[in-house]
Copies of this chain bind each other. A is one copy, B any other.
Amino acid sequence: MPDTPANDAPYRLLNDVAFGRDVVVQAFTNLYGCSVGDETRIGPFVEIQRGAVIGARCKISSHTFICTGVEIEDEAFVGHGVMFINDRRPRATTDEGALQTDEDWVLEKTVIERGASLGSGAVILCGVRVGERAIVGAGAVVTSDVPPGAVVVGSPARERLLRAAVK
């Protein structure tokens, strides 16, 4: 795989990234230790951390944070300002007040399946799986698995059909 995107842009920090072919990465980006599949496009003000895996033909929009432990399958859409999480109980320090190390917390993985769409401003809790072609509404807070093809909205995110039925 090439070790650079297909385009040029200023103000990028790209360290130890495996790029597929024809990847576009905008300015003001911080990517390290991750992989990005063919033809995927990444907007400005995006950070992607070590170990994250981004598939082919995805769109990762501006202001989004993708952490270690996240796998995004092919053809997924990630909106603007989407925040992923990998630590259910984050703390700055241990109970004794020392800075946390990698041994002081448990990584929980997240999978966004093929063709799913995550709306802008969504927050995706850790340990969840968003199913194939599912849609997460803008601003939703996803706290549990989303079935394939489902549309979820709100905080916490629930299926839209259920909400309509209750009303």
Give the interface size class of chain A.
35 or more
The reply to whether A92 and B63 contact each other, CB–CB distance below 8 Å, is no
* Contact status A123-B139, CB under 8 Å: yes
Q: Scoring A residues 10 to 32 as 1 if CB is less than 8 Å from chain B, else 0, what string do you get?
A: 11010000000000001110100
In the complex with contacts A57-B92, A154-B155, A81-B83 CB distance below 8 A: yes
Q: Which residues of B contact A75 (CB under 8 A)?
A: 91-93, 97
The answer to whether B138 touches A83, judged by C-beta atoms less than 8 angstroms apart, is yes
On chain B, the residues within 8 Å of A39 by CB distance are 99
B45 touches A63 (CB 8 A): yes
Question: With A and B bound together, what is the CA distance between A135 and B92 in angstroms?
Answer: 12
Residue of A39, A76, A85, A120 with most partner-chain B CB within 10 A: A120
A68 at the interface (CB under 8 A from B): no
What separation, in Å, do the CA atoms of A147 and B93 have in the docked complex? 20
5 contacts between A and B (CB under 8 A): A28-B28, A65-B120, A79-B90, A125-B138, A153-B156
